[in-house]
Structure 1
């Protein structure tokens, strides 16, 4: 099973494309990182995949099923979306936030199964001690774990994350990405995330998609995409790549 995006295009204004003819595949258990300079359409692409935005053309299918034909509730059982950290949160308790992920399954009230799913996620993501704290009292790393738990409560087949390590310290960046990688493997999730840090992308992504000038600039296995010439052309910088611990390390040159 896989998520397949075929010939997807999008523009906010008529005649001006943000994305042009984008195609990619993400298999279950696989992590795809989306890279590109600011303003190249990374967030727009993932919103089109989750149908938060309607593509001008192209299709998004999971296991051969066109997601455009699904209801919002049906779509939420396949794809979960974790937005970019903004720093603005209401005084909503952690347990209530995660429980919102069960809305695609809930009837008039949450069931014992809904509660069991949420309690297990709180345990897995080390949120039990924070369950009755409010979001506006948590650190950035803690809030990110809560949003991932809410997405996982949907029991999706694919999870999409918009810059999941943004504004996090080094410890929390690694914790979040190790958590995502472990969940992708254990739950056979298709994972798509936008990311700016090339070294983290090298460590945690199976595949990479580079966007530039509305189109796919490079796409393929992460260690093959990460080439000095490709990065230099993509970002207009000079880099030096070395290999250690089985993956590439990218160093900026003055």
Structure 2
């Protein structure tokens, strides 16, 4: 049996007498891409922050590689975990290459300078930013800034990459491209996603949150059931064959409600 890379047991978080996350247990193994979904206020971001070590749970524990996460120092944790958050605001004056090099800070003194630069250049190449390495962060488009944040995280060479709604403020094409890029990295990823249409093509596992609890944890075709999605999100889900490609499409649509009598 494969040992979980990250294992959470009975995680709860409370604030001002309100339960934000209630007794959530889950695990991921190497190579998993876990998408955490749910309506606003369901506890998604709070759960992500506890899983990544940014927030100490009120109860329960998280283990990384069998070790309790709260007993790993922040400096050591940064060698294993990279986080791309919703509110990251890089200094707009920084050159792209200098910003991406910040991902190597946790590894300072652990490698040779040439190797360090190679890692940064590879992160820029994998995110398509190599031609823009001399540009300032402030001159980039929204999609390019998101890719720069991702490149910084890739340069960190983490065991787990955490993404908190990474497609916010991107147009539909840029959203799909960013998640396709992340899926192609071969990394273990835990991501909070808002757009349901992006979940099935990206995730190997889906965690459905509602009212602070984990309602489902399964592969996309098992987690995104008609009953659960309609109950939580108020939309219907359909699975259709792609008209020109050998794959399935997952489509979400508002229920067809009969018009009220006149």
**1:155-177 CA deviation, whole Å, 9 max, x = no partner?**
11000001111111122112111
User: How many residues end up aligned between the 2 structures?
Assistant: 248
The one-character-per-residue Cα deviations of 1:14-49 (angstroms, maximum 9, x if unpaired) are x42111111111111111111111111111111111
What is the aligned counterpart of 2:225 among 224, 227, 240? 227
Q: Give the secondary-structure state (helix, strand or coil) at the position aligned to 2:251.
A: strand
Contact 2:142 2:169 in 1 (8 A): yes
Instruction: Flag the 1:35–1:110 CA change in 2: closer, same or farther, 3 A.
Output: same
Q: State the Cα RMSD in Å.
A: 1.9
SS of aligned partner of 2:19: coil
Residues 1:109 and 1:218: Cα distance change in structure 2 (over 3 Å): closer
Contact 1:106 1:114 in 2 (8 A): no
Q: Is the 8 A contact 1:79 1:156 kept in 2?
A: yes
- 1:243 is matched with 240
Q: More displaced, 174-183 or 84-93?
A: 84-93
In structure 2, the partner of 1:135 is: 137
Q: Distance between the aligned counterparts of 1:177 and 1:49, measured in 2?
A: 20
1:2 and 2:41 matched: no
**1:20-169 correspondence runs (5 A):** 20-84=22-86, 89-107=91-109, 111-169=113-171
Shift of the alpha carbon at 1:246?
3.2
Cα distance in 2 for residues equivalent to 1:65 and 1:80:
17
Which 4+ residue blocks in structure 1 deviate beyond 3 angstroms?
A: 85-89, 107-110
The alpha-carbon distance between structure 1 residues 219 and 247, as it changes in their structure 2 partners (threshold 3 A), is farther
Structure-2-length-normalised TM-score: 0.89
Deviations 1:203-239 (A, max 9, x none): 111111111111112221111111111011112x241
2:210 is matched with 212
- Alignment gaps of 5+ in structure 2: 242-246, 257-262
Please give the TM-score of this superposition, normalised by the length of structure 1. Answer: 0.91
C-alpha change, 1:240 and 1:174, in structure 2 (3 Å) is closer
Deviations along 1:82-131, one digit per CA (max 9) or x if unpaired, are 01166775321111111000011113998222111101111121111111
Distance 1:26 1:247 in 2: 25
**In structure 2, do the counterparts of structure 1 residues 221 and 7 end up closer, same or farther at CA, with 3 Å as the change threshold?**
same
Question: Which runs of no fewer than 5 residues in structure 1 stay unpaired?
Answer: none
Q: Which has the larger radius of gyration?
A: 2
Q: Distance in 1 between matches of 2:173 and 2:147?
A: 13
Counterpart CA distance in 1 for 2:248 and 2:57 is 38
